[in-house]
Structure 1
Amino acid sequence: MKKPITRSSTLFRQFVLSLTFPVLLAFMLAGLGTVWITWSQQQSDLALQKESMLQSYREALVKPLWDCDNNTVEGILVAMMYQTGIAWVQINEACREQILQAGDAQLADNPDSVEVFTLEYLDEKGRGFYVGTLEVLFKSQSIQTGLADNFWRYLMLLAALLASMLCITLLIFRRLISNPLQRFQIIIEQNKNRTDSPLVSAGAAATQDNELGQVMHAYDDLMQELYDVITQLKQQQATLHDMAHTDSLTGLGNRLRLEDVLTRALARSHRSGQAGCVFLLDLNDFKPVNDTWGHAAGDVVLQQVGERLHELLRDTDVAVRLGGDEFVVVAEEAGDRSAVTHLAEKIRQRIEQPYAFRDQQLQVGVSIGYALFPDDGESSTALLARADQVMYREKRNR
């Protein structure tokens, strides 16, 4: 059973012992001075927090703006509105030339009160690309308002202290505070997915030997369990997302992954002016391998094709299995057509090398079509269609 709370450990006793006449007198004399010091310190702290907060949000906004991910940008703007002191925020993003904002736009009618920040993305070569501007309007607070707010808080606290010293008795205190807190603690423990009885004491490890210490101990345990559950759910979500975007046989991306990669690559190509390339690969003589040696041999060939593409390509390039014996390679900053032709030949030579299956050396060919973006298309559908035309023209000429 739960250990009963003794009178010596009650909040009522601690409350009475901690409040004495000198403390009340000092409170009265130091009230205004404390209010002034508190307000001044708050202003200094708010200025530092404001600069740190803005720096963090500016850094958080650059990557989604570079990726044209306006949904994430809007989420960050909404999060900014929960910060103390922010009245309105707006993003003028350069990718789609849209204006995204949160808060009351009417508050930003005075341009002198709006702070404007330029946002740039730095690539691995240290080059900066303009991705948009951030405009922020902060709520203003006069010194009179700050002093008045804090002064009234102190007056209300003093009135509560005096009323407590005159009116509160042990019986009333326990009826209004202690008993509800005990019931609250039991409710928390009952809702924690525990195997032991909810009546087992959770306050033994509390830092305070009173009702609040026990409640906070139980609350901390509950919050830790909730955090663990949320963490597991996020991990499972990430795992499911990877599985949905990954080809189970080769470990490369699949069609869903290809659509996402091409959309982002096109957006970055528009901003940087660097041309990219989409290669479409179709294995030749793959069906005879399946017919002669079985699907196990075909699976080995497909897996080794995925491994060879992974070894051959740069870290910035992405290879996916489109389906069957078709593969796609997305290469950003691929250079001119001569560089693209050279890369296609390297891919061909590597793919057409023999594949070991048991004691046999299997041979397949490959037809490669390509399309440069943004010259040959402005969408993933158009680029793949163009690459498909080039690939089948090569097949007919072989």
Structure 2
Amino acid sequence: MQQLRSRVRSVATRLVVRRIRRKGIDLSRLAFVPERAKMPLQRVGPDPVPALGLARESGGLHRLPLPFDFDVWLVPGHDDARGVLTDRSSYSNDIRHLFHGDGPATSDDIGGLGFTDPPLHTRLRKIITPEFTMRRLTRLEPVIERIVQEALDEMVASGSPADLASQVAFPVPFRTICALLGLDYADQQEFAGLGSARFDATNGAAAAFGAVSAQREFLFDAVARQRRQPGPGLIGQIIREEGDAISDVDLAGLADGVFTGGFETTAGMISLGTMVLLRDEKHADVVRHGERGDVERVVEELLRYLSVVQVAFPRFAKQDMQVGGRRIRKGDVLIPSLSGANRDPQAAGERAEEFDPFRVPASAHLAFGHGIHRCIGAELARMELRIVLPALFRRLPDLAVAVPAQELSFRRLSFVHGLDELPVTF
């Protein structure tokens, strides 16, 4: 473990320090997000901070005071955010240039679908998309049902009170993703410790980027092993179908994207969604006694209301332009706020700040993003939520949060919002 920590620190420093030095900033003293720019990643319980709503109501884009040689713009409104996410010609998602102040970018430093542009993005997404259609995912339904029942059995056996976050919300998506990718038990044990840190912005740039690098290096090793002996999951299947046409680096990037989009995000949704439903017995009853359509409606509203993925992948302007009434220069960064956009009354309708499972929104939510970089695991996440929430509330009809709301421990500054713990009784 000490060796892994050292590797994380060295890789992270190499990735970040070159660019930062241009501004004369000591990386060791630089918070990953300066205080005045933390607003998009902060919450008050399940809700975005009021400043995000004020930024949206003021109209247009909101400049974030970050110490770079380009401007960073938050896009807090639904229509502007959707427009940026849709526009594939005006923006690039390739982030590698930020980490190379004195040399060419290489694909093994950073990548994955979220940070890749066409045509490479198109080719890689085409490889993996068929596995995430509803028709293909249907075969995972009994696997997820078994995983959910095992997690509930384990929590019930451990007795009340319990921590739902660690005993249900974590193992369900984790075991599902490991089963999907075909990671063996030894891989799963090491992999378990690399999840939350990559989304945590509280411990500085080195920690955040270091966690990403360590996780990608782990997946690279797993892919290399399966290259020699393909397993039964998605990694092995792609190796059998693509052979040498896909590199280990690209395949590790795809696996990383599956993990990124399907583990920590769904874990956060399960914990926070359970907490929200337990605030009102009528809402819990919709999940406990409702038909499939009722449960689907609750899941969609939870996705909109919670928007656990706070911001979309950054977009880099390819040319000078006007967006949201602001002059954007080539190289500037636009960051769509998914939590801000999904609380926009123009899209969600009246009382957008409230959870309402009977809501009829004016337009679709952006919890999974939009456009060519929309989360490829959206249907898998929906399936897991549709299975785990009814199973939980039907199995434990007297489920309750064990502590007052003000004592719950939420993530303080994270790209993916969630609860550190959810103490419950049953």
Q: TM-score, normalised by structure 1?
A: 0.20
**Higher relative contact order, structure no. (Cα contacts within 8 Å, ≥ 6 residues apart):** 2
Higher fraction of strand: 1
Q: Bigger radius of gyration, 1 or 2?
A: 1
